[in-house]
Structure 1
Amino acid sequence: MKAKHSFAHIFRAFAAISALTLLISCGGKAAPTGQTYAPGTYTASAKGYHGDVTVAVKVTKNKIASVRVLKHGETPGISDLAISGIPKAIVDSQSLAVDSVSGASFSSKAVIEATTAALKEAGADIEKLMVPGAAAEKEADVELSADVVVIGAGGAGMAAGVSAHQNGATVVILEKMAKVGGNTISAGGAMNAVDEGSETAIKNKDSVALHFKQTYEGGDKKGDEVLVKTLVENAWASVEWLQSMGMKFLPEPFTVTGGLWPRAHKPVDPVGTGFFKTYNAYIEANKGIEVRLNTKAEKLIVENGKVVGVIATGKTGNKITVKANKGVVIASGGFGQNVAMRQEFNKQWPTLDETIKSTNHPGATGDGIMMGREVNAAIVQMENIQLLPLGDPETGSLSGNIETDVEKRIYVNIEGNRFVDEGARRDTMTLALFNQPQKKLWIVVDAHSYPEGTVKNNFNETIDGLVADGRAFKGETVEELAEKIGVPPANLAATVAEFNKHVASKTPDAFGRTLYSVPLDKGPYYAGARVPTVHHTMGGIKIDAETHVIDVNGNVIPGLYAAGEVTGGIHGSNRLGGNALTDITVFGRIAGANAAQGK
């Protein structure tokens, strides 16, 4: 099978970005009627998500010849398609009226604005260039077949696809978005796993049994015990599986927000890009996996009670039918961006309407759950929707979060007062935040977290860059920091002093906090604003430990498997921080292997 949109194509940009230069040049269509330029190459910049994006635009008398991105600071793996695709779209259409890349809107906007400025300098009639180019012609309908069909090219889907192939299957992976990655590619990267018996686990007094206890009890004992056991007992083997394919992790585990224990393993590569570089390397080295982007799965094909394929729609509206010889895996993610579904099932939060943003990528709209319902799959625990107190006030994303680990930071409200145990469960912290003025907190850290301005947070952003962009604030003293963020200096100083007393004594404070390491006593000090944001939907399709989809009568649906956030019943009412990447890898591997073997 030959992929129309290969997964490798997406990451060619990743390598090019390291050189900070990417060239997209092609013939292009003729310029709009009457459009002329002063021939030459023009350079301009526009503000992206992480600073300026600079482009060079070459024009002839009547054509945009090329658009080059010379320099940018956008996040690799997330912005790649905008950095590569937007310039190509402008050249191909000879128009500035091109679509932004979902999930990379800031980067897309920056490339378009910088190109616009360059073309204006070249004497272009910008108004004419804002007319869309010709629409793409509808492509022919397509019929394909493979042993295993996977719906979704996020972390769970890619794990399932690679695992299925390792178990002898040919694979087609369908992804409705223009890029792979789902929520995983922009995740913080923390993956919980216990290497039981290792020096690290012994030092941290950690065990698989403790991981089970904290996961199960952290979800108020509402998770399926068998699924929780499967998760924790296969966690370290999944880390080793990734390592066997070349993925690298930092040597020491840490405590991620809401993780409750230092067992999160952080990839060397930024955010979630390491997972996809790993899967990409496997796919490039092996034949038999096709990844089709811009392909939206619409319906499961059922014959004689067995799921045997998927009907999908291509980018131009054409029908794509993929028959599965052995099995179909639904790995399409949750519904964090579907406001109607959030509101329909919400029982816990004051509101989950459009005023509450989400960390999720735009494609997290619950499609797989709805497809499962159409074939009588049981849907469980949809009311279990996790929020974080760590959303960017403008976008809801986790980027810009200045905390590096739980032990070294505090949360204060706009009055400069702490209001919660910062080492508590995620739901506990977020509910407390809903009760604060403006539903807003400030994370406060010091030079223990950022000894140099070039030190990066968990999202590959330097603290100097965040301060320069106005997304974080810096003060040489606690009082100076308080002035910059608009909280009473005396309150913040007293708050920090009281916190430091408990760091010294290692005793629980008024909020019950027990996780400490160093005091906040070393300038400069930093603060970043955060708000509640929808992070993870823990309800979905019911599965068993072998990832078979279970119907409303408690029976296995033949030929159908599911993994990742599209499933429900693993995490209960609250997911521990760091368990999501474990979930998608553990159950993605199981789903792929079982689908390949028809088990």
Structure 2
Amino acid sequence: MAQVIVVGGGLAGLSAAHTVLERGGNVLVLDKQPFMGGNSTKATSGINGAGTQPQQDAGIADSARIFFEDTKKSARELARDDLIQVLTGRSADAVHWLQSKFGLDLTKVARLGGHSQPRTHRGGAQFPGMVITYAQLERLEDLSVSDPERVKVIKKARVTKLVKDSSGAVVGVEYECGGKTETAYGPVILATGGYAADFTGDSLLKKYRPEYYELPTTNGEHSTGDGHKLALSIGASAIDLEKVQVHPTGLVDPKEPDAKVKFLAAEALRGVGGLLLDNTGKRFVDELQHRDYVTGKMWENGKYPIRLVLNGKASKDIEWHCKHYVGRGLMKRFDSGEALAKEFGLAPEVLRKTFEDYNVSVRTQKDPFGKKFFQGEWKFDDFFHVAVMTPVLHYTMGGLEIDAESRIIDQSGKPIPGLFAAGEVAGGVHGANRLGGSSLLGCVVFGRVSGDSASAYLLQATSAAVQKAGGRLSALAGHISGSTAASTPDSAAAAPVGKSASGEYTLADVAKHNKKDDIWVVIDGQVLDVTKFLPDHPGGEKAIILYAGRDATEEFNMLHDPKVIPRYAPDAVIGKVKA
């Protein structure tokens, strides 16, 4: 079976895989995690698109050209016009593809920092990154069951080597899975993410930005630059590896203020009108400036804690996010300006003046910090949502050098045959600074570009092999005609049927199992022992531990489809709650 190999199961890899399938190809997806999705599932603001139908419906006059200029301005001196052209020129198509192919709601459009127009799309509920990624993931896993000859998914598969032929073309990968080393053949798309959690012995983060090494991160522990290191080891060229984005708004958990991994406060919170206030209750920055600028102003100001405050209107506009953050103990709600002032430890008159000064800016459209886009005036007699912020490692703009066809470039400036990249592993797309909402976009756009390019390469190689028996491409065709050397227990197969109930438990029984090494939760009346599942949870251990020994139904249903438990954790179900 001729196939394209996709390394990485985040949104970029999934978009690449679906594109290969659309082009009539076969695909093998290898992911080192027990559950796919990667950091894409954590994206909280949305996906950019210029000239989309939702924009037109909302009367927003935007275009790919305007988006190009905004992105180039953000990228500054490192702007790659060819890559920016692809990103912005195919942005509307990416949004429409997600809507039409996966039936996604992306009708809400917001303006994030650095954008001259509202163009960041999301739906009415849940984090858009999770919704977009899971829609693609579930479709691909369903196909791996219904059409296993075309789609293979292998999890807990760590790729350790790119296999080349005598001419230097990449013809496959070696990977470790289930204690064995296996080989798979075909052109390769690397979609392994970034290195903003690379605290390993050969850390790219420490090598290129040592001053950032001790900062907290929003990235999962899998973000260790694996794809970068694989490609660099065979002569690939890297670009802008020192360009690491420090996002200004990581949420500080009052219970664990020094935690290395932080949850991100969506930039959309500022997009709907949230304000950043220092410990004196004053503004110090245009909240909608570029991320690196806002981070720099936070460090320059230095009056901690710095809080993000949403008024009633902003809270309603992004209600689901607020509810989620409050549920995780990362945000608080206050029902009056007086209560908010007490939280700051300030006299009410101080915050009242901050709001009055801001309202002058709204009315005059002249802001002392240069803000240009406002969401209305603030009232002191209102309700508010508040969270403490800290800068966090978030995104690596640098990565493997690619061309406009997603082909990875070698150190002589030529494409490496059979090797492609998509998503955060690909450098140069965002220059010196990434705009909010362009991470998911980059995954979808370059996932689709890489899928197109790899499919075309596979077709050309196979056709040429038929005509040139004995040549290099003939050898490649022999390689790519093979499937994986052996199937593994982690390959995608029919999801096991959920375990039948083995008993009934009271909520008091469940409450006794509230420790990390013995943790039960209740979801929709089912009792789950999630002790063994804990380290594999894509959202991290803390998200489950927070509900140890409790009913987690509301929080679970906010984030997950009902199919998640029978598909990913059927053995965790041990019984049901007594009536």
TM-score, normalising length: structure 2? 0.72
Q: Determine whether 1:496 maps to 2:361.
A: no
Relative to structure 1, the CA distance from residue 211 to residue 400 in structure 2 (aligned partners, 3 Å threshold; closer, same or farther) is closer
Match of 1:142?
Answer: none
Which structure carries more relative contact order (alpha carbon 8 Å, separation 6+)?
Answer: 2
Relative to structure 1, the CA distance from residue 358 to residue 160 in structure 2 (aligned partners, 3 Å threshold; closer, same or farther) is same
Q: Distance between the aligned counterparts of 1:157 and 1:589, measured in 2? A: 9
Q: Return the match for 1:431 from 277, 289, 296.
A: 296
Relative to structure 1, the CA distance from residue 485 to residue 512 in structure 2 (aligned partners, 3 Å threshold; closer, same or farther) is same
Alignment of 1:46-125 (within 5 A): none
Q: Determine whether 1:281 maps to 2:143.
A: no
Could you report, residue by residue, the CA deviation over 1:9-65 in whole angstroms, capped at 9, with x for unpaired residues? Answer: xxxxxxxxxxxxxxxxxxxxxxxxxxxxxxxxxxxxxxxxxxxxxxxxxxxxxxxxx
Kindly state the Cα deviation for residue 430 of structure 1 after the two structures are TM-superposed.
Answer: 0.5
1:150–1:329 contact (8 Å) kept in structure 2: yes
Q: Distance between the aligned counterparts of 2:333 and 2:132, measured in 1? A: 33
Relative to structure 1, the CA distance from residue 367 to residue 468 in structure 2 (aligned partners, 3 Å threshold; closer, same or farther) is closer
Q: Secondary structure of the equivalent of 2:358? A: helix
Q: Secondary structure of the equivalent of 2:142? A: helix
Q: Distance between the aligned counterparts of 2:7 and 2:53, measured in 1? A: 37
Structure 2 counterpart of 1:289, one-letter code = V
Gaps of 5+ in 1: 1-144
RMSD of aligned residue pairs (Cα, Å): 2.4
Match of 2:208?
Answer: 345
Structure 1 counterpart of 2:372, one-letter code = T
Kindly state the Cα deviation for residue 338 of structure 1 after the two structures are TM-superposed.
Answer: 0.9
Match of 2:281?
Answer: 416
Q: Distance between the aligned counterparts of 2:276 and 2:270, measured in 1? A: 13
Q: Distance between the aligned counterparts of 1:553 and 1:487, measured in 2? A: 61
Kindly state the Cα deviation for residue 493 of structure 1 after the two structures are TM-superposed.
Answer: 2.3
**Structure 1 range deviating more: 236-245 or 430-439:** 430-439
Q: Return the match for 2:230 from 371, 376, 381.
A: 371
Q: Determine whether 1:450 maps to 2:315.
A: yes
Q: Determine whether 1:246 maps to 2:102.
A: yes
Q: Secondary structure of the equivalent of 2:197? A: coil
**Structure 1 range deviating more: 397-406 or 519-528:** 397-406
Q: Determine whether 1:570 maps to 2:434.
A: no
Kindly state the Cα deviation for residue 476 of structure 1 after the two structures are TM-superposed.
Answer: 3.1
1:162–1:283 contact (8 Å) kept in structure 2: no
Q: Determine whether 1:293 maps to 2:155.
A: yes
Kindly state the Cα deviation for residue 160 of structure 1 after the two structures are TM-superposed.
Answer: 0.7
Identity %: 28
Could you report, residue by residue, the CA deviation over 1:139-181 in whole angstroms, capped at 9, with x for unpaired residues? Answer: xxxxxx7511111000101111111111121111110111111
Q: Distance between the aligned counterparts of 1:262 and 1:227, measured in 2? A: 22
Q: Distance between the aligned counterparts of 1:163 and 1:398, measured in 2? A: 31
**Structure 1 range deviating more: 377-386 or 471-480:** 471-480
Q: Secondary structure of the equivalent of 2:342? A: helix
Structure 1 counterpart of 2:298, one-letter code = L
Could you report, residue by residue, the CA deviation over 1:418-477 in whole angstroms, capped at 9, with x for unpaired residues? Answer: 11110100000001111233654201111112349x9311xxx51xx6446542233333
Higher helix share: 2
Q: Distance between the aligned counterparts of 2:194 and 2:337, measured in 1? A: 41
Q: Distance between the aligned counterparts of 1:472 and 1:181, measured in 2? A: 26
2:399–2:425 contact (8 Å) kept in structure 1: yes
Q: Secondary structure of the equivalent of 1:456? A: helix
Match of 2:399?
Answer: 540
Kindly state the Cα deviation for residue 320 of structure 1 after the two structures are TM-superposed.
Answer: 1.9
Match of 2:49?
Answer: 193
Match of 1:233?
Answer: 89
Kindly state the Cα deviation for residue 515 of structure 1 after the two structures are TM-superposed.
Answer: 1.0
Q: Return the match for 2:220 from 343, 351, 361.
A: 361
Gaps of 5+ in 2: 461-579
Match of 1:160?
Answer: 16
TM-score, normalising length: structure 1? 0.70
Kindly state the Cα deviation for residue 401 of structure 1 after the two structures are TM-superposed.
Answer: 5.5
1:392–1:398 contact (8 Å) kept in structure 2: yes
Aligned residues: 441
Q: Distance between the aligned counterparts of 1:414 and 1:203, measured in 2? A: 39
